[in-house]
Structure 1
Amino acid sequence: MRVFLVAGEPSGDRLGGALMEGLKTLDPDVEFDGVGGPLMQAQGLTSRFPMSELSVMGLVEVLPKFFHLKRRIAETAQAVLDTKPDVLITIDSPDFSLRVAKLVKASGDTRTVHYVAPSVWAWRPGRADKMAKVIDHVLALLPFEPPFMERAGMECDFVGHPVVNEPIASDQDISAFRAGYGLGDAPLLLALPGSRRGEVDRLAPVFGEALSLFLKDRPSMRVVVPAVAHMVDAVSEHIKNWPGTPVVVDPRKLPSDQAQAQKRAAFAAADLSLAASGTVSLELAAQATPMVIAYNLNWLTHQIAQRMVKLDTVTLVNLVSETRAVPECLLNDCRPEKIAAALAQVAENPDAQREAMTVTMERLGRGGEAPGLRAARAVLERMHA
């Protein structure tokens, strides 16, 4: 079987890598083509171009790269049509992925699968109907998503999230991480300002000011900043004047499995975390790390989002656990003083989030079949139904 995959950012690469591993388990003769990052490449994909070119978020942020992205969309769709795979699997990054699927469907009958349901329960519900015109089958990460997709006319399976299948860092892993970075037994605060250039440029200065306020009364606390490979230099530049003698966790010189293990150890070692909104909240929950989520957007995207978002929370831990256990500082509340106050609140009672994090992991499939294998099984079963 030949599978063409397209992922556009680190979280999608993670999903794609787990799915590819599952497909190889069920069909050892499977062949891969497409676009992906280091985790997908470790499973045997030779990416047609660097995935980092697609890691753009926000309505306004896309504009400067519009023509380049348009060329990549056409190039990727043509590659699918030329190679005639048994299935095209697009992973998240809908602005890119669904345009590729549209061109493919317009010129052929390739089966299309999209991994990660659009958040129609949060905003722009009409996206499901538009997506149904070019996507045959959806793999959903969240248990409440299939009915939304099925109503629009697509097949949909809840397959869980790969984060629940990742190892939990051991005490030995944590000790090795601390020793490797010279952290001793100092209390640690994890700072995660994002994986895309635009959000890091936007959030890092705010995070730095918030940490200055929060750490005034906590001189012994150290700041640890795990960074994705293509953002290490940018993150390092931004945190030069941060308090807490920050340490950047750089994955570039490690094999992907060791880099992931080091990241898990950093998460588990932390007493507290401040993170951009996104999948990272699930990674923190998997390691039981208390968190504050903060996020803001480009001004124009911000104005549009304020009018379209339908929910009072965007944090996946809150949504899946049906709580509001994780404090958020979003949009107009993404200000240093608000973030510092939220960090102080969590530091005072770090156990307040434990139950919500445990429930989230259970509902996303912890203890069951690996989500990547479940996703692979769903792809194969629907193809052969």
Structure 2
Amino acid sequence: MRVFLIAGEASGDALGAALMAGLKTLAPGIAFEGIGGPLMEAEGLQSRFPMEELSVMGLMEVLPKYRHLKRRIAETAEAVVAGKPDALVTIDSPDFGLRVARAARAGLAGLRTIHYVAPSVWAWRPGRAVKMAEVIDHVLALLPFEPPYMTAAGMTCDFVGHPVTTVPLATTAEAAAFRARHGIAPDAPLVLCLPGSRRGEVARLGPRFGAALDLIARDLPGLAVVIPTVRGVAGQVREMAAGWSTRPVVVDSAEKAAAFAAADAALAASGTVSLELAANAVPMVIGYDFNPLTRFILRRIVRHDTVTLVNLVSGTRAVPEFLGEVCQPAPLAAAVLRLLRDPAARAAQEDAMALSMDRLGRGGEAPGLRAARSVLAAIARG
């Protein structure tokens, strides 16, 4: 059996790696081809080109790279057709993956197509599910309320749980060792800064987050700031953070779990990282912004009053978020300071985070294994 996988960013790489591990357990001898990052490569994938080429988001971010991405779509579709896999699995990054699926199906009749991570049609652009159904047969959903939206559009869909519920957490001893290793006092307030995994996000949010942390440090002497980062933006993050007065510690994925366990609060970009923070019970403030044109368009099509996954899954609004024009240093700093000082605000988040993890499948079968079962069943249906 052969499966072609496509992931375009760090969160997709994690999903793909867990899926690959599950497929290897259930279908020994399975072969993989496609595009992925370091985690998928560790599971045996030889990425056709660096996954980071696809880590762009927003209209103005994509336009300068349009011709290059178009070439990558064509060559990836050609590889799918040539390889004749039992299934094509596109993981998140729909702007790239679904275009590849459309082109590949045109060249390979009967290709089974699966998309991992349902589009957020409950939040904006409900017509996307119908359009996706033109090229996708089956969907693996991370959120428990998503399958009805997908089946209504004409695709089969399984809720497979979220891998964040199975990520190993660092111990108290490991958290203490992390602080000691980086010269952070045991009682010093430690705030995580997570400005995103895409270069555009880091460029747009990093300066605002840095300025917010400077404001927090004025009120909290001894503040420690840690920035966990990923391969594709590590150099950019280090260069940016070197100019901050808080002198943040920048760590890679090897120290991420310990950093989360050591933290008192986090200032983070919107996205999957909010669930990672929830899994580690780290209270958070969310900030996000696009360029002005993308912001203008989204303001007219977004259907929800929150974009933070913890809020959506828990059905609460416990996590404060600052989007668009209000994503500015002063309100971000005030919200983080409140989390550090107000036990009631922290308790509300802790309850919402615990509820989110339970609803995402904590304690059940590993999502990667559930996803693998769903993929194999979809292939068997033919």
Aligned counterparts, 1:103-122, within 5 A: 103-108=103-108, 109-122=110-123
Corresponding residue number in structure 2 for 1:246: 248
Of the structure 1 ranges 342-351 and 72-81, higher mean CA displacement relative to structure 2 is found in 342-351
**Cα deviation per residue 1:79-124 (whole Å; 9 max; x = unaligned)?**
0000000000000000000000000111222100000000000000
Q: What residue in structure 1 maps to residue 379 of structure 2? A: 383
User: Does the aligned pair in 2 maintain the 1:219–1:244 contact within 8 Å?
Assistant: no
Counterpart for residue 358 of structure 1: 354
1:211 Cα shift? 1.2
Aligned to 1:31: 31
Misfit runs of 4+, over 3 Å: none
> Does the 8 Å contact 1:20/1:376 carry over to 2?
yes
Q: CA deviation at 1:244?
A: 2.6
Once the two structures are TM-superposed, the CA of residue 292 in structure 1 deviates from its matched residue by: 0.2
Q: Establish whether residue 236 from structure 1 lines up as the match of residue 238 from structure 2.
A: yes
Which of 313, 317, 339 lines up with 2:332 in the alignment?
339
Shift in Å at residue 382 of structure 1? 2.3
Residue identity over aligned pairs, in percent, reads 65
Aligned residues: 376
Is 2:10 the partner of 1:10?
Answer: yes
Report deviation, 1:193: 0.6
Cα distance in 1 for residues equivalent to 2:267 and 2:305: 19
Compute the displacement of 1:342 (Å).
1.2
1:373 aligns with 2:373: no
Q: What is the match of residue 93 of structure 1?
A: 93
In 2, are the aligned partners of 1:41 and 1:47 still within 8 Å (CA)?
Answer: yes
**Cα displacement (A) at 1:340:** 1.2
Q: Distance in 1 between matches of 2:210 and 2:378?
A: 48
Amino acid in the other structure paired with 1:178: R
Q: How does 1:173-184 map to 2 (within 5 A)?
A: 173-184=174-185
1:176, distance to aligned residue in structure 2 (A): 2.2
SS in 1 for 2:364: coil
| AA at the equivalent of 1:275 | A
Contact 2:73 2:100 in 1 (8 A): yes
Task: Determine the C-alpha separation between the residues in 1 that align with 2:38 and 2:71.
Answer: 23
Can you give the 5+ residue segments of structure 2 that lack an aligned partner in the other structure?
none
Check conservation: 2:241, 2:247, Cα contact below 8 A. Answer: no
Deviation track 1:140-185 (CA, whole Å, cap 9, x = no partner) reads 0000000000000000000011010111211122122222222231
Q: Which residue of 2 aligns with 1:53?
A: 53
Query: Which whole-Å CA distance do the structure 2 matches of 1:375 and 1:338 have between them?
Result: 40
Tell me the distance in 1 between the aligned counterparts of 2:57 and 2:279.
25
Question: C-alpha deviations, 1:182-221, integer Å up to 9, x for none?
Answer: 2231220100011111110011111111111122110111
TM-superposed CA distance for 1:336, in Å, is: 1.0
| In 1: Cα distance, 2:218 partner to 2:180 partner | 25
Corresponding residue of 2:84: 84
The answer to whether the aligner puts 1:155 opposite 2:148 as a matched pair is no
CA distance in 2, matches of 1:380, 1:279: 26
Is 1:323 matched with 2:316? yes
CA distance in 1, matches of 2:252, 2:118: 31
Q: How does 1:139-218 map to 2 (within 5 A)?
A: 139-185=140-186, 186-218=188-220
> Residues of 1 paired with 2:180 and 2:79: CA distance?
47
Q: Identify unmatched segments of 5+ residues in structure 1.
A: 252-258
2:124 is aligned with what amino acid?
W
Shift in alpha-carbon separation, 1:341–1:268, aligned structure 2, 3 A: same
CA contact (8 A) 1:17 1:43 kept: yes
Q: Which residue of the other structure, out of 294, 300, 306, is the alignment partner of 2:287? A: 294
Q: What SS does the corresponding residue of 1:308 show, helix, strand or coil?
A: coil
Question: Quick one: which amino acid aligns to residue 361 of structure 1?
Answer: M
- SS of structure 2 residue aligned to 1:88: strand
SS at match of 1:361: helix
Query: For each residue in 1:51-83, what CA deviation from the matched residue of structure 2 results, as whole angstroms up to 9, or x when unmatched?
Result: 000000111100000000000000000000000
Q: Is the 8 A contact 1:273 1:289 kept in 2?
A: yes
Whether the aligned pair in 2 keeps the contact of 1:61 and 1:198 (CA below 8 Å) is yes
Name the TM-score, length of structure 1 as normaliser: 0.96
In 2, Cα distance between equivalents of 1:3 and 1:344: 48
Displacement after TM superposition at 1:379 (Å): 0.8
In 2, Cα distance between equivalents of 1:302 and 1:151: 29
Q: Which amino acid aligns with 2:318?
A: A
Match of 1:275, SS state, is: strand
How large is the RMSD of aligned CA atoms in angstroms? 0.9
Distance in 2 separating the partners of 1:376 and 1:338? 43
Match of 2:222 in 1: 220
Whole-angstrom distance in 1 between the partners of 2:175 and 2:330: 31
The offset of 1:352, in angstroms, is: 2.4
1:21 aligns with 2:21: yes
Kept in 2, the 8 Å contact 1:3–1:33? The answer is: yes
Give the CA deviation at 1:241. Answer: 2.7
| Code of the aligned partner of 1:174 | A
Q: Distance in 2 between matches of 1:240 and 1:263?
A: 19
Match of 2:136 in 1: 135
What is the rounded CA distance, in whole Å, between the counterparts of 1:381 and 1:199 in structure 2? 37
> By how many angstroms is 1:238 displaced?
1.1
Aligned to 1:310: 303
Structure 1 counterpart SS, 2:173: helix
